[in-house]
Amino acid sequence: MRFAIFFILLLTALTGLNAFVYKRLRDLWALEARGRRIVVGILLYGLVAMVLGRIIGRYSPSAFAVVLGTSGAAIQLTAIVAFAVLAVERVAARLLGFERWMRKLVGVSAAQEPAASDGAATAQVEGDVESEGRESLSPGELMGRREVMGRALGVAAVGLGAAPAGYGALFGRHDYAIEEVPVRLAELPPALDGFTIVQLSDVHLGMFVGEPELKSMMEMVRRAKPD
């Protein structure tokens, strides 16, 4: 019962997380209908594949279950990291005046702010407008810079998640190593001289490491012939 509750809460949290990532990428990348469908499809596949891969692998281990679960987990890990980056950006924008800093960075001044749409009269600015000694930007140039920076932020958020997720899915989960560490004890009985003990560390069973990887690890331990 507790596992079922945990599973439902986990799926709910991941669904909300994926929805947030989708909305931010949609806005930052100005996605059209086809792009939105692709992003939704990738995120949905990641969520479903991660769950199905673990369920199938638990009751009927196979290479298909490993590929399904690992690819889904990699996508979800990417989404989690992207969520963290994009959430920090949103908090900074709202609480730390990040949006004003962005406007300053791209060269927009107060005179270039869009006029209110409530029918209030707008002030006409004559002459050249400068922001910190720079010439003002046209609306097209301003939107161009904002679009580039928004796209760059989205790429950075996805890249920061995809890099470790891809490495973990393709290489990290198989990157086992045996390290021999001699332990010298002054009062060790002679009968135990040369005695070999195996310690397994940093197995990380779960998202990327399952039963097949654990079996491979145990085979390495057997080949080491510990006492």
H/E stretch holding 18: helix 2-28
Q: Which amino acid is at 79?
A: A
Tokens 């057997």, residue located: 222
Our CA angle for 70, 160, 30, nearest 5°, is 100
Domain ranges of the chain: 2-170, 176-227
The pLDDT of residue 134 is above 80 = no
**Distance of alpha carbon 122 from alpha carbon 116, whole angstroms:** 8
In what helix (H) or strand (E) does residue 102 lie, and over which residues does it extend? Answer: helix 98-106
141 pLDDT above the threshold of 60: no
pLDDT at 22 over 90: yes
Query: pLDDT tens digits, residue range 206-220?
Result: 656 766 777 778 888
Mean pLDDT, residues 150-174 taken together: 83
